[in-house]
Chains A and B, each alone.
Chain A
Amino acid sequence: MVADDLQTLLAALPPAEADSEVRFAEPWQARAFGLVVQMNAAGHFTWAEWVEAFSREVAAAEAAAAVGLPAPGYHAQWLAAAEGLMLAKGITSYEQLAARRFAIGAAGATHVLR
């Protein structure tokens, strides 16, 4: 069940900065969140693998912030981890990601046909 997975996922999550509640300011953030839940449910990766991938992105962002470089926010880290894991698992390719991003760059994120 997806709902059970969601509970597992939330329990496994590293705590977000200020509070542990997941909040979505923009639709893509919710979609990125749902994508990870669904891919786990479909058996593409385990939560242990997810936690490892996500922790790497969090650590990279913290390392960047520590030396004054622009660091991605929580949801961007989440998306980067999802993309990285999908690439590692062969679910998508760099070319496919680049191709899908073309319309975002051309029409804007809120004007993408799905």
Chain B
Amino acid sequence: MSALQKVPVTILTGFLGAGKTTLLGRILKERHGERIAVIENEFGPEGIDNDLLFTGGAEQIVEMNNGCICCTVRGDLVRLLGELHARRERDPAAFSRVIIDTTGLADPAPGAQTFFIDDEIAAHYRLDAVITVVDALHGGAQLDAHHEAQEQVGFADRILLSKADLVGPEDERLLRQRLRRINPRAPIVPAHFGAVPLAEVLDIHGFALDDILAIEPGFLGEETHEHDDAVQSFAFRSDTPLDPERLQAFFRAALREHGPALMRYKGIVAFPGMAHRVVFQGVHMMMGSDIGSAWREGEARESRLVFIGRELPQDGLLAALAACRVNVS
């Protein structure tokens, strides 16, 4: 057993020009007393000045040999993170955090999955969160033109909105609404010239099996919208406990049919006879679950599930979830 703590890792995504490099520069300059290793795949025009900068060349997507199309990892990350770990074994003070700056068009999923699929990486690193920088000025057009932009938003644990000073309040409101429909669980944080409190970027615990599932109120069924993005979200609520076996069967079918399209999902559910919540979250076809906090005396045992994905058959999935309630035959 290694005595070293797992190193938190942040994946930074966002389209070229959205302000990722500016943000990264600000994070590195702040006096946080930490040594941060940065993995970059391309040099932006501004460049990053950091002793611990690693460039891995092209992002290298590797399909795992278990025949599962979703279980792709990034081979370049496996190699670089392995080398970084070796360095840290020699010198535990070498670095205490890793930030991965992805290329503009990258799909964040293989990078994120690397931390769950590769045993060595999982043993030494903890994926903290995926942070997506969206340019308020060009974000709308980028969402229109590139499905990757939608995927980066859908995958995010935090959305940082840059250049909001360059658009009017109505344009900003509409963009926020659109981002909210794609991803209702990631808070949207303004990032003027990369000025974001570090607490909004680091140690977010986006993949933790906690009881937190903050869904923006009223994101469902709001006013009609002009954009029908391919990446969309929906939520399911139930005041009736869910049958665990039916819900497992639901996921087996949903992951089999829609695993590649299901980007992120999370649930906090009530099972009959259990004093505690059960929490789960997933990335494509991979899923983790754990016990949550105890239901309080007299508390309404509400189950809540949120799904974010590409062209999901929302009505069918909601109907199938409704059939998981215990008193439904």
State the A residues within 8 Å of B (CB).
2, 27, 38, 93, 95-96, 98-103, 105-108, 110-114
Question: Whole-angstrom distance between the alpha carbons of A17 and B66 in the complex?
Answer: 30
- Of the residues A27, A98, A111, contact of B287 by C-beta under 8 Å: A111
Per-residue interface assignment for chain B, residues 1 to 35, with 1 indicating a CB less than 8 Å from any chain A CB and 0 otherwise: 10000000000000000000000000000000000
30 A-B contact pairs sorted by A residue (CB < 8 Å): A38-B1, A95-B275, A95-B276, A98-B244, A98-B274, A99-B274, A99-B291, A99-B292, A100-B289, A100-B291, A101-B289, A102-B244, A102-B248, A103-B280, A103-B282, A106-B250, A106-B252, A106-B280, A107-B255, A107-B282, A107-B287, A110-B68, A111-B68, A112-B288, A113-B282, A113-B283, A113-B287, A113-B288, A114-B122, A114-B288
Question: Whole-angstrom distance between the alpha carbons of A108 and B284 in the complex?
Answer: 13
Judge whether B289 and A103 touch: CB under 8 Å.
yes
Question: Whole-angstrom distance between the alpha carbons of A100 and B122 in the complex?
Answer: 18
Within 8 A of A (CB), among B269-307: 271, 274-276, 278-283, 285-292
Write out the residue numbers on chain B whose beta carbons fall within 8 Å of the beta carbon of A110: 66, 68
What number of B residues sit within 8 Å (CB to CB) of A? 34
- Number of A-B pairs whose CB atoms are under 8 Å? 81
Among B271, B274, B278, B292, residue most surrounded by chain A Cβ atoms (within 10 Å): B278
Write out the residue numbers on chain B whose beta carbons fall within 8 Å of the beta carbon of A107: 251-252, 255, 282, 285-287
Q: Is the interface of A mostly helix, strand, loop or mixed?
A: helix
Question: Whole-angstrom distance between the alpha carbons of A105 and B252 in the complex?
Answer: 8
Question: Whole-angstrom distance between the alpha carbons of A102 and B286 in the complex?
Answer: 12
Query: Is there a chain A Cβ closer than 8 Å to B155's Cβ?
Result: no
- Of the residues A98, A100, A111, A114, contact of B285 by C-beta under 8 Å: A111
Within 8 A of A (CB), among B64-81: 66, 68, 71
Q: A98-B274, A106-B289 known; 8 other A-B pairs, CB under 8 Å?
A: A2-B1, A98-B244, A99-B276, A102-B244, A102-B280, A105-B248, A106-B251, A107-B285
Judge whether A113 and B281 touch: CB under 8 Å.
yes
Among A2, A102, A103, A108, residue most surrounded by chain B Cβ atoms (within 10 Å): A102
Write out the residue numbers on chain A whose beta carbons fall within 8 Å of the beta carbon of B290: 96, 99-100
Measured CB to CB, the nearest residue on chain A to B64 is A110
- 3 closest Cβ contacts across the A-B interface? A113-B288, A106-B251, A103-B289
B267 to chain A, nearest CB (A): 10
A98 to chain B, nearest CB (A): 7
Per-residue interface assignment for chain B, residues 224 to 255, with 1 indicating a CB less than 8 Å from any chain A CB and 0 otherwise: 00000000000000000000110110111001
Question: Whole-angstrom distance between the alpha carbons of A110 and B64 in the complex?
Answer: 12
